[in-house]
Chains A and B, each alone.
Chain A
Amino acid sequence: MNIIILGAGRVGESVAESLVSEQNDITVIDMDPARLRLLEDKLDLRGVVGNGIQPSVLRDAGAKDADMVIACAAADETNLVTCKVAHDVFNVPTTIARLRSPEFIEGDELLSQTGFSVSHVLCPEESVTRYIRQLISYPEALQVLEFADGRASLIAVRANHGGALVGHTIGEFRERYTRCEMRVVALYRLDTEMEATPSTRILAGDEIFVLADTDKIRDVLSAIHNTDKPVQRVMIAGGGRVGLRLARSLVGQCEVKLLERDKKRCEYLASQLPSSMLILQGDGADEDLLEEENVGEMDMFLALTSDDEDNIMSAMLAKRLGAGRVMALINRRAYADMMQGGTIDIAISPSQAVIGELLTHIRRGDVAAVHSLRRGAAEAFEGIARGDAKTSKLVGRRIEELKLPKGTRIGGIVRGEGRNSEVLMPHHDRLIEAGDHIILFIPNKRLVREVEKLFQVSATFFG
């Protein structure tokens, strides 16, 4: 695919990074030549210096042949105009804009073809907030991903001592929880993938990916992990956009203490949040402040400033002072890999949260959702089976008959729409019907192309 990315900032860079690795032709537009040079050196892409809202610059970047424009400059207005120009002047079929303001909603008249011609909206802050929100709802999980409009969920959990199933095999797991519709799709031990056969034994410290009906998440979690009490007290260090959005979403559910360094920002936060939330002026890495505010009594500590190092340090400090579960927002992948599972319970990688959403639009075939797992190494993929037995490689076949790429496993099937939909477990003789949502676990990104092909319908479907 020919993709033009506007803006070589943090979001632009991580988007470029993950798309380059999938053999796409990427052109990045930015005003800053030095920044572009850096990217060109690091990644296999082309840089164009200039202002992306100008048609001439877009033409230089090859907008005529582009399949997609992703505008992720800092200002919403730049992104909106770029999408409009790309669509109207160069007929680019897919335009994606990163929009910070929550007032622009995908599918709104304003963003339609007659408006700004934005086909999809990306909001990194919103994605990250949603991601964290899930982790607060399910404090035992490392990651919770939703499929088929929230009907089924993929949960990553670290097995710990005391979990009901630790020390048992996956086979026993199934026997014991027959009512509970779930399937272990992958198992990682010491960061290497293990084969998840019925005879595999679950040990403490294993990272397990389970697909289950969303209503049953609680049961699954309690089987693997001894249940934590629900999160009630939360301390957030950093009152930026993510911090504010998160605090707002926690109104009425948790006691929140929000730490922010800037006095002005503190006042703004105080005017935006109900007075029951404590806004404290100070540094997240200030030991005295953390102790004064009883960080040890917190169920969860979240370091959400824009600075990786600050986040890591304050999260580690909070953990040492006795905070229950600590999370840090870490942009740099190397840092994130290094910190996760150590002192810091969860390293939240904002780019991963965004990329999952972006991938949904980039994958070919009938793709409903794609989520990046294990910081980009693996992928969870939700595709819709279309056509009939003649045109489709899926419909009308039993699961054991499918030719799946090596290592790829079907986690579950969601049949039906809306309220009447049901989550089916992929038993070997289950027949796939047209319209089924199939959720797959792909352990390696290289296999994505083959999986995409499975979901493409041959030409006769239209004839």
Chain B
Amino acid sequence: MQSLWLPVLNVFSRVLLAFSPTFLVPMAWAWFLDKNHHVLVWAFGFAATVCSGWALWMLTRRHRRELMPRDGFLLVNLVWVVLPAYAAAPLYYSVPDLSLSKAYFEAMSGLTATGATAISGLDLLPVSINVWRCFLQLVGGLGIMLLVVAVLPLLGLGGMQIYRAETPGPMKDTKFTPRIAETARGLWGVYALFSVACMLAYRWAGMGWADAFMHMCTTMGLGGLSPYDASFGHYNSARIEWVATAFMTMAGISFLRYFVVIKHRSLRPITNDREIRTYLVVLAAAIAVVTLLLLVNGVYTDVGTALRSAAFHVVSVATTTGYASVDYAQWPVFAPVLLMFLGCFASCAGSTGGGIKMVRMVLLIKQARRELVRIIHPRVVNPVTLAGGVVPPQVMNAVFGFMLIYGAATVGLTMLLLLTGLDIVTAFSAVVATVNNIGPGLGLVGPASNYGVLNDGQIWVLSFAMMLGRLELLTVLVLFTGHFWRK
């Protein structure tokens, strides 16, 4: 047991040290904008993180070694369980009437880029608190990006794993650079570039600098937290909504692709990709359907407004961001359910979005079509292909396995919530919204309200759901197998 934990804790101590400077960002805001109101809180958070990180490092440094895949699972889980606790502490201390469970939920929602909030009265909170909530999503986004494009594939898991299969042809371009460190630098460079562009665009569209910064954080991480109770409804501005729609759409695609596009100075890695094309087509089709639905049902009479609202909400929920500018739960029931459904799979593998990921969906549909053809032509040879290469059967099996566990997890968690006495719409939509890292659900946790109405038990279930979804289920569940702990 010792040999498993100590080296992992050593690496984890370094993660803690790397995480500590994030406290300085809200501290700066607090210093300049909150009239020193909360500076001490952030300073204390920073100091505590650095100290505990350093202490842990000192204690475990003799056990430093290269990590094995098994250590990787432990590390990833540890990071996503413990960091929210650190991040929750300042929230618990400074937000009035916030229980410990809800503070942890809020921090988890930030770091997993979910965007579900349990706090109401956001508008009245000090700026530094809101900056912290939103900034966590940017940090979470960076972590997720590293997780999905570099760490999970090393562990043999995750949507991007499909691309690691030996597919010849155009996919070669998308292979990352040989070292994780280099990949991370390239990716984060692109991420930074888009973030700055996004912030400037929000500023141009009419937000103040503080709001532009906070919304940039939650847009790029596909998180969806907002410093206002009314989310984007606070502005009611077409320009701001269109800017958000554009950047959410861009962030729904793997930043690895942008990295490759910039490196090769060619748009082909994006335009030729089956997953991205499907993603864009699905978004466009959903926007068209919802626009039509809104017009026919008389929710809006003006085509421009209907289109803007449909586009904003479709993209927001489908990319698992979770902004809202109106209470779309009041729309004809088809629309909000369609949005939740899209959120389950629309975002691309390698993006910071949650859910099944489009590439798995593409493969499943191809597999289904293949089985149908096989019924009529028993001798047909039609392996599932992606980008000119045959997808190996073990990858397909991994996809099936993932789907099975995904379904089981959704059902299991929903049953658990039902046991606590929630109604079915709230329970099911809350689970879907958290497992897929969308944010707002329906019913009691719909876009117009928040998760504050739930009790502590329910909040813990959903916190777990967020982590489970973010780590693509298997990473978490593998810890619950006997084989993992056996030597």
Q: Which residues of A contact B (CB under 8 A)?
A: 260, 263, 266-267, 269-272, 275, 278-282, 289, 292-293
Contact = CB atoms under 8 A, between A and B. Distances in A.
Contact of B377 (A270, A271, A275, A280): A280
A271 B389 CA distance: 5
Contacts of A279: 380-382
Interface of B: 366, 369, 373, 377-383, 385, 388-390
Given A278-B380, A279-B380, A292-B377, 14 more contacts: A263-B381, A269-B381, A270-B383, A270-B390, A271-B385, A271-B390, A272-B388, A275-B366, A275-B385, A278-B377, A278-B382, A281-B379, A292-B378, A293-B377
A281 B383 contact: no
A280 B381 contact: yes
B381 A271 contact: no
Given A267-B390, A270-B390, A275 B382 contact: yes
8 contacts: A260-B381, A263-B381, A267-B383, A270-B382, A270-B383, A275-B385, A282-B379, A292-B377
A293 B379 CA distance: 9
Contacts of B383: 267, 270-271
A3 to B, nearest CB: 40
A278 B373 contact: yes
B380 A280 contact: yes
Of B366, B385, B388, B389, the most chain A CB neighbours within 10 A belong to: B385
Contacts of A280: 377, 379-381
Contacts of B389: 271
Most B-side CB within 10 Å, residue of A267, A269, A271, A275: A271
Contacts of B378: 292
B379 A270 contact: no
A287 to B, nearest CB: 13
A271 B377 CA distance: 18
Contacts of B369: 275
A126 B389 CA distance: 24
Contacts of B377: 278, 280, 292-293
A248 to B, nearest CB: 13
Nearest to A280: B379
Contacts of A282: 379
A270 B388 contact: no
Nearest to B373: A278
A101 to B, nearest CB: 16
A289 B377 CA distance: 10
Contacts of B390: 267, 270-271
Contacts of A278: 373, 377, 380, 382
Contacts of B379: 280-282, 289, 292-293
B381 A266 contact: yes
A275 B377 CA distance: 14
A77 to B, nearest CB: 21
A83 B381 CA distance: 41
A73 B388 CA distance: 30
Contacts of B373: 278
Contacts of B381: 260, 263, 266-267, 269-270, 279-281
